Amino acid sequence: MKRLLRTLNGEAVWPPPVWLMRQAGRYLPEYRAVRAGVKDFVALCTTPELAAEVTLQPIRRYGFDAAILFSDILILPWALGHGLEFKEGEGPVLPRLRDEAGVAALDPARVAERVAPVMETVRLVRAGLLSEGFADTALIGFAGAPFTVACYMVEGGGSKDFAAVRGMAYAQPALFQRLMDVLTEATIEYLSAQVAAGAEVLMLFDSWAGVLSPSLFRTHCVAPATRIVAALRQRHPGVPIIGFPRLAGMMAREYATTGVNGIGVDTGSDIASVAALVPPHIAVQGNLDPLALVAGGAAMANETRPILDAMRGRPFIFNLGHGIVPQTPPDHVAALLELVRAG
Amino acid sequence: MKRLLRTLNGEAVWPPPVWLMRQAGRYLPEYRAVRAGVKDFVALCTTPELAAEVTLQPIRRYGFDAAILFSDILILPWALGHGLEFKEGEGPVLPRLRDEAGVAALDPARVAERVAPVMETVRLVRAGLLSEGFADTALIGFAGAPFTVACYMVEGGGSKDFAAVRGMAYAQPALFQRLMDVLTEATIEYLSAQVAAGAEVLMLFDSWAGVLSPSLFRTHCVAPATRIVAALRQRHPGVPIIGFPRLAGMMAREYATTGVNGIGVDTGSDIASVAALVPPHIAVQGNLDPLALVAGGAAMANETRPILDAMRGRPFIFNLGHGIVPQTPPDHVAALLELVRAG
């Protein structure tokens, strides 16, 4: 069994499997070359040959233990018929969903057709990993968690404080729950289709879970993740799921009840403390600061060592605590892999 | 002894003392009236009669257990000679400190003179509380914690990810430490002067502590707070200090070793879990979501109740988990106070 899958089955594989969030991205010249040839980011995500190519690039360069589908968490709302544009230097821009009509306009029936290119990407990557000899590299499919996707839809993009989405959750709880329900069901179908196309592991990114109060965290992060995990477990019993409730802090303990096989840890958390909060069979994934990777050298080693030392002997996946940043020197990634593989 | 001071001395006062972060602010029409008459935000902070007036406004309206000096955490770097401008709708804009010359240009010798109006504000507020009959309202002085102030100085304002300041901490540790040392020493003098002018409690706002990796958190949040608390304790033994390491999650446990008498809790944390991490004599302060206060009614009550229930029987100060937002209806604040005072 592949090293990542063994880890997610509860085995303390050592040295640990390693991959990096956003490992296919702008820090790689070969990625920038592909990106330069397409008109926009959505086009890159929905052109299977190109998306598969950029997914495989970091595997060829570094031999990571996992390839993660090149896509974006906002492809699902886009497939539901919600608009999506990526403006240079501004991030995603979406129409602001603020009322019943906005929820009613979402069309789950069209999702399968619109995400068909994503499924083709998954098939191409899986075949590419085999044909290029990466027999131990597992393919991760993913989606944004419903709350994080709702954040972008309600705010109309990123936000400093996510006041509109939190305001809606408090002041219009029934409306917000309907939006969450639509997203939860669509996420189940979307992830299930990725497994059918060849994804071996699934990851649920709840990047903004940390802005929720404890009660909202239970309702809009833990509860939908529980539904999603249960539905996928029933359809695809052998496929492990990693949840990443970013900035959840101690709420990670409650997140562990969702049934996930692995839990992602952000840069600000002491990974040993998070590991102590969750049952020992759940793999912990994280959490080097991407800025330590940019710095490289002693700073990177000093941040990496305590993570490895704390995680030896438990199911653990080495990763960053947040996505790799564009200014990362590719050499530093190679040096990091040496450190991790020395255990 | 005033209710807030008793609580910070380790007594489980009930109903708990209550005040709200940014309680003097744009949600109040009387504040907006004063603000409209001054040219900029720095002018408001450095005109003692006006700053004292807006500090007292929410006390007159609601009778909070604490008045907090109306000022800004960036007044200290401004007093050190670093530029500061508040642009409408953009937040603070500062020159970007990125090198040795930037640190060398800071001039601790000029601080006392430049912050003299702040000390006059403290004196006016203290006298105003007495003369207006708020005998049980304690006056809180405050400063930004060195790391959070450094964030704004290095980034040149707010930031989505604070990549520059984290990058400097990793790649130029000696330079960054010098900046932190200057800020730490200046903070001690600044807070000490506030006590001399009449502040009865001090609060240290480390709003961005949560972006630090655990090792950087120890070096740049816990260590400077420990130095600041020790120095102030020696000079002003009876003056309690509240630390607010925002988004620290489980790192709150380590923050409790700084010697603070109280610890602030942000909206995302389960306050009972944080309380369980820190020694029982340390007061816990927080943590209603400001957006629940905007919503009011059942949503606000449903968020408030579990906080009160969890904190009964331990030293606790009711507050928000983040500053009150401008769109807050003043009536909702009155309704919140009724809930809290019913215990």
Find the helix or strand (DSSP H, E) in which A244 lies.
strand A241-245
**A299-322 per-position pLDDT tens digit:** 999 999 999 999 999 999 999 999
Degrees to nearest 5, angle at CA A316 with A310 and A320: 85
- Span A118-170, pLDDT tens digits: 999 999 999 999 999 999 999 999 999 999 999 999 999 999 899 999 999 99
Residues of A in Cβ contact (< 8 Å) with B270:
214, 250-251
pLDDT tens sequence across B130-183: 999 999 999 999 999 999 999 999 999 999 899 999 999 999 999 999 999 999
Chain A contact probe: residue of B177, B221, B250 with most A CBs at under 10 A: B250
- Predicted pLDDT at B89: 76
Residue A89, both tokens: 């230097």
For residues A91-107, one letter each, b for 16 or more C-beta atoms within 10 angstroms of the residue's C-beta and e for the rest, the string is ebebeebbeeebbeebe
pLDDT at residue A90 in the model: 81
Binned at pLDDT 50, 70 and 90, residue B308 comes out as very high
Summary mean pLDDT of chain A: 97
How high is the pLDDT of residue B155?
98
Name chain B contacts of A250, Cβ cutoff 8 Å. 249-250, 269-270, 273-274, 277
Q: How confident is the model at residue A342 (pLDDT cuts 50, 70, 90)?
A: very high
Q: Do A250 and B274 touch (CB under 8 A)?
A: yes
Say yes or no for a CB contact (<8 Å) between B303 and A213.
yes
Task: Give the ranges where A63-172 is alpha helix by DSSP (H).
Answer: 75-79, 100-104, 111-114, 116-131, 146-155, 163-171
Please tell me the distance in Å from A228's CA to the nearest CA on chain B.
23
Strand A138-144 versus strand A66-68 pairing type: parallel
Cα distance from A173 to chain B (closest Cα, Å)?
A: 9
CA dist., res. A226 & res. A259, Å (int): 7
Strand segments (E) across chain B:
66-68, 85-87, 91-93, 138-144, 201-206, 241-245, 262-264, 283-288, 316-320
Give pTM, 2 decimals: 0.97
Q: Nearest Cβ partner of A170 from B247, B269, B291?
A: B291
d(CA B36, CA B19): 25
Under an 8 A CB cutoff, do B211 and A268 touch? yes
Which of B270, B274, B305 should one mutate to test binding to chain A, selecting the residue with the greatest count of A CBs within 10 A? B270
Percent of chain A with pLDDT over 70: 100
- Phi and psi angles of residue A2, each rounded to the nearest 5 degrees, phi first: -60, 150
Radius of gyration of chain B from Cα atoms? 19
pLDDT at position A77 is: 98
| A320 vs A18: CA distance, rounded Å | 9
Query: Pick from A269, A282, A268: which is nearest to A317 by CA?
Result: A282
B213:A267 CB<8 A: yes
> Mean pLDDT for chain B?
97
Residue of A nearest to B277 (CA): A250
User: Among positive and negative, which fits the CA dihedral B173, B177, B180, B182?
Assistant: negative
Judged by DSSP in three states, B240 sits in coil
Dihedral sign, Cα of residue A152, residue A285, residue B208, residue A27? negative
* A248 contact partners, CB below 8 Å, separation of at least 6: A206, A209, A210, A217, A221, A255, A266, B249, B268
Spatial neighbors of A4 by CB under 8 A, at least 6 apart, are A17, A19, A65, A66, A138, A201, A317
* Cβ neighbours of residue B58 closer than 8 Å, sequence gap 6 or more: B20, B23, B24, B28, B64, B67
Contact: A267, B211; criterion CB under 8 Å: yes
Sorting pLDDT into bands at 50, 70 and 90, what band is A88?
confident
DSSP state of B282: S
Q: Which two tokens stand for residue B294?
A: 């905007």
Say yes or no to pLDDT of B343 above 80: yes
Which residues 299-328 of chain A have a CB within 8 Å of chain B?
299-300, 302-303, 306, 321-322, 325
pLDDT of residue B240: 98
CA A280, CA A298: separation in Å to the nearest integer? 31
Q: How many domains does chain B have?
A: 1
Q: In which band, very low, low, confident or very high, does the pLDDT at A73 lie, cut at 50, 70 and 90?
A: very high
The DSSP output letter for A211 is: G
For residue A89, pLDDT over 90 is answered with no
Query: Which of B219, B221, B256 lies closest to B241 in space, CA to CA?
Result: B256
Averaged pLDDT, B184-213: 98
Q: What is the dihedral of CA B297, A178, B268, A312, to 10 degrees?
A: 160
Residue A73 CA to residue A152 CA, distance in Å, equals 10
Element of type H or E holding A307: helix A297-311
**Mean per-residue pLDDT for A95-123?**
98
B95-144: per-residue pLDDT in tens?
999 999 999 999 999 999 999 999 999 999 999 999 999 999 999 999 99
Number of Cβ atoms within 10 Å of the Cβ of B2: 19
Record: contact A249-B269, CB cut-off 8 A? yes
pLDDT in tens, A248-264: 999 999 999 999 999 99
A44-68 confidence digits (pLDDT tens):
999 999 999 999 999 999 999 999 9
Q: B11-43: string of b/e by CB count within 10 Å (b at 16+)?
A: eebebbbbbbbbbbbebbebbeebbeeeeebbe
Best of B218, B289, B328 to disrupt the A interface (most A CBs within 10 Å) is B289
Q: Is the dihedral of CA B332, B337, B342, B343 positive or negative?
A: positive
Q: Which residues pair with A288 in a beta bridge?
A: A320
When CB atoms are compared, the residue of B250, B273, B291 closest to A166 is B291
- Helices (H), ranges, A198-289: 214-217, 223-235, 252-255, 271-277
Active-site amino acid positions of B: 22, 26, 35, 72, 152
- Tell me: the pLDDT tens digits for B48-79? 999 999 999 999 999 999 999 999 999 999 99
**CA–CA distance, A205 with A183 (Å, rounded to integer):** 13
CA dihedral B85, B90, B95, B100 (to 10 degrees): 130
Q: Which of A214, A270, A273 minimises the CB distance to B270?
A: A214
Range of the domain at A270: 3-341
Distance from CA of A291 to the nearest CA of B (A): 6
Q: How many residues does chain B have?
A: 343
Task: Using an 8 Å CB-CB cutoff, list chain B residues near A306.
Answer: 214-215
Band (pLDDT 50/70/90 cuts) for residue B88 is confident
User: In B, which residues are within 8 Å of A160 by CB distance?
Assistant: 158, 160
Among A residues 153-192, those touching chain B with beta carbons less than 8 Å apart: 158, 160-161, 163, 166-167, 170-171, 173
Residue B25 has pLDDT above 80, yes or no: yes
Can you give the CATH number for the domain in which A109 is found? Answer: 3.20.20.210
Chain B positions touching A310 (Cβ under 8 A) are none
Which residues 63-82 of A are in CB contact (within 8 Å) with B?
Answer: none
Spatial separation of the C-alpha atoms in residues A151 and A73, rounded to whole Å = 11
Residue B55 CB neighbours (<10 A): 24
What's phi and psi for A285, nearest 5 deg? -125, 130
Cβ neighbours for A45, distance < 8 A, ≥ 6 positions apart: A51, A70, A71, A72, A75, A117, A118
